Structure 1
Amino acid sequence: MDDSSDRAVAVWRDERSRYLAGLIERVSKHDAAAFEVLYRGTAPALFALAIRVTHTRESAEDVVQEGFIKIWRFADSYDAQKSSPFTWMSSIVKHQALDYLRRNPLTNVYVEELDKRSVGADSENGVVHHSALDVERLHAYLGRLTPGQRQAIALAYFRGQSQSEIAHTLDAPIGTVKSWIGRGLESLRAMVDGRHAPHHGGSC
């Protein structure tokens, strides 16, 4: 791309940012027409962001809907000096998506993956294997883990994400992700063996 093309793209982005900022300002004054225009112009891209995090269309639709509710409610908090309009909106939707995952760690794709695979993953550790426990028991065992442990294990073993990918998805340090997975698997082994799961404390 030559310099003239770069300048054209930069000008287009600046104009779009000013346009979106103007819409957000009108939304802050409860302008429903401006909100509809803002929604139509940005919802597809925000939906793509949500589906990358949640991995299902249904959950992404819920996330975007909730995200726009927050955009409507908090439009007056947007500060053009701190971020572009789309970056601000993306941040709201991403945080909504992460919150959805934390609240619904075994819904949609994870439940589907459990059923489809007949719990046939992680034979090396002997924890999430069909010969050790069935789907119903695995749901119950995972439900006893902390939210962070539960979600990290679900992403690792039912979505095949690497630890760095999990860290990005959950917006957490990779060291924390490693700890969640390690301690979560230790707790699962204890439950599979019929012992009381060790208590590691914390709410992550």
Structure 2
Amino acid sequence: MSTDPNLDPQQLRTWLQAAARRDAKSFRSLYNATSPKLFGFALRILRKRELAEEAMQEAFVAIWNNAGNYDAQLAAPMTWMATIVRNKALDVLRRTDHVVEIDAAQFDSEVLNAFRDPGATPIEALQISSDARALAYCMSLLEGQHRQVVGMAFFHDLSHSEVAQKMAIPLGTVKTWIRRSLERLKTCLAKRQQA
């Protein structure tokens, strides 16, 4: 990553040195001056805004914690920080590499197909199809990661610990999300039945 001519390397070094002494104001100045360019760099690697934001947060925590290790003889400030951002972006990429993404349209059709019974009478098939559509609708109302956790657990037959591992989130969080999501699904389905 080349140095931005609008960013004075000496000023960046001064802010890094101050950050090493835990000067929050200087660190804020460093962040304000460099984060737009570094965010763009993270976004080019990760291609998703939320993942780039996650990498940036981790990178700036690392910059804050390691500012005292910065050596001006080895790299320009932006090069040093860009290396940290790149490493954190690659960490995020590795963690999310095995996440099962649930595409809403595909998920809806999979739910509908899962409820089809080849031996059902026409009336039963109509009821099953209606139930499947209701479930697909209620699932679509869940927050993205919550929908993924439920989908992985119930439609991909993964255990809670397998879901936690694939999503790179704590097991307790998975259990909480599933419990809350099932409560929301139950409420949503009950409201649709009453309508």
Deviation at 1:15, TM superposition (A): 7.1
SS at match of 2:22: coil
Q: Deviations over 1:48-104 (max 9, x none)?
A: 111111111111111101100000000011111111000000000110010111112
Unmatched 5+ stretches in structure 1: 1-9, 120-134, 148-204
Name the CA distance, whole Å, in 1 between partners of 2:7 and 2:49: 31
Please report how far the alpha carbon of residue 13 of structure 1 lies from its aligned counterpart in structure 2 after TM superposition.
3.9
Which residue of the partner structure matches residue 43 of structure 2? Answer: 51
Task: Note if 1:39 corresponds to 2:31.
Answer: yes
- 1:151: which partner in 2? none
Instruction: Flag the structure with larger Rg.
Output: 2
> Aligned partners of 1:15, 1:103: CA distance in 2, in Å?
32
Deviation at 1:106, TM superposition (A): 4.0
1:97 corresponds, among 73, 76, 89, to 89
- Normalised TM-score (structure 1): 0.48
Report the counterpart of residue 59 of structure 2 in structure 1: 67
* Residues 14/56 of structure 1: CA separation in 2 closer, same or farther (3 Å cut): closer
Aligned to 1:87: 79
Q: What is the TM-score when the length of structure 2 is the normalising length?
A: 0.50
Are 2:107 and 1:115 equivalent residues in the alignment? no
Q: Percent identity?
A: 35
Tell me the alpha carbon deviations over residues 121-145 of structure 1, each in whole angstroms, 9 at most, x when there is no partner: xxxxxxxxxxxxxx955x99xx8xx
The alignment's C-alpha RMSD in Å is 3.2
**Divergent runs of 4+, >6 A:** none
